[in-house]
Amino acid sequence: MIRWNKFILAFLVAFLSGSATAVAQQAASLRRYVDAANGAYANDGLSWAQAKNNIQEAINDLAAYMAARGLTEGGEVFVAEGTYSPTEGTEEGSTLFASFKMSPGIAVYGGFPAGGGGIEDPADRPMKDGSRYGWQFLHETVLSGDLLASSPATFAWSDEDQTYTTAFPSNVYHVVWFATAGFDAGGKPVALSREAVLDGFTIKHGHAADATLSGRHYSRGGGVYLVDGGVVRNCIVTENAAVERGGGIYLDGGGRVESSFIHRNTAPGASTIAEGYGGGIALVGGGDVRYSMIVNNFAANGGGLALYNPDDGGTIEESLCMSAVASVVANNTASNEAGGVYLRNGGILNLMTVTANRCNGTGITVNNVQNGKSAGVYVANYGCILNSVFWGGTIGTDGYVQYYHRPDARQTGDLTSLVFHSAFSDQAITELTYTYRSSVLSLERDNFSDDSNIGNYPIFTRPAQDDNDNLRVGVV
């Protein structure tokens, strides 16, 4: 009897040991490594020592491995510091279609040191000294849209023209592409079957520039084209451009941006189209932005952020399908309307700080609508604002309106916009006629009082500036 017990015990130990080994081997097989400095294309990518040097090859190899085994999630790609350019197109016909194509069920992490540094957990990626934000990695990992490294894109702010002067010698339409499941017959992107995550990268120099194809993706989302099921987290998105919408990031019907720094992007519009929405980020028909900073961007409408539904055919509830939460929108500029945030036919702003934005649209008329009404937030038809602060924005030479609501002509008898528990500087000159509001506070125009004057002062701390007078929010 004792012998049988020993036999059974030995069998169980061997079985459990073998199972644990199998699980560990499968986990290891669900990871690929990429290293620009030390990797090679022919490597298997199963360790830092055998890292690949091409991100797309690592994603494709892992996706094929998972598909062959019926695995739908749990894949990881670890990428070491360096600059990477896309090598595979979203469609045929031009090198400008090249993008980093994300795959469902796979998370791609940047911010690792060259050689890996022995790090096998994204939570252990080194951060900069004194870092306060999730995107401040010590080892910068750049996804670049420059097809010619010798001729990179250039970005410079013009005080005279109040816009960015840009040059894109040879740059892709989108640096990162999440719409890998394609589009349906109506032109809407198909949602990803499993979550795809991009975490820990600097994304720059995408140029969605083809204004002749209005309504197509070629003019939207220069940095990232995001769809439902896609996540951008702990990233810096900078110096990208889109003619129509979302200079930095375009959320087409869904997706999520969180804990990211979106700065120095542009969506200027073009003479042939009445567009140019969301210099930093544009959400259309869905999606969420959370815990992020949207700073120093430019657009025709919504210098920092635009939440945009193309039509108002649905109910208000159906149109509140996109949101920006617990984020900062600061120091952005619009040439037409809404220096900070533009809401059209829906969208929710909650726990937002919208400050020091600028609108230069005074005297400009587009589609028979006079522009230049709001420096902070502009609501076309309807939207919902909760628990937010709007302060310090300017219009032209002497305007200070932070909120303006323009309902559809058919709806002027209805209260079509909602504002609760929020604060605005210069509330006395804010257009709230067709807005239902509750617990709305008026802030002083000054940031703080130099004496004992009683008033509502926001007391913001102004962040440092760089040599070009750009706010250095979140950047060390």
Look at residue 214 in the predicted model and tell me its pLDDT: 58
Q: Give the separation between CA 69 and CA 389, rounded to whole angstroms.
A: 51
Count of positions (residues) in the chain: 476
pTM metric for this prediction: 0.90
pLDDT(361) > 50: yes
In the chain, the amino acid numbered 474 is: G
Look at residue 332 in the predicted model and tell me its pLDDT: 97
Q: List the 98-101 sheet strands across, edge first.
A: 88-89, 98-101, 176-177, 224-226, 249-252, 281-284, 305-308, 341-344, 377-380, 403-406
Look at residue 78 in the predicted model and tell me its pLDDT: 98
Look at residue 130 in the predicted model and tell me its pLDDT: 86
Residues 436-472 have pLDDT tens digits of 999 999 888 787 777 666 778 887 776 555 555 554 4
Tell me the mean pLDDT in the region 65-69: 97
| Range from 267-271, 274-278, 292-296, 313-317 that averages highest in pLDDT | 292-296
Comparing 99-108, 263-272, 308-317, the range with the smallest average pLDDT is: 308-317
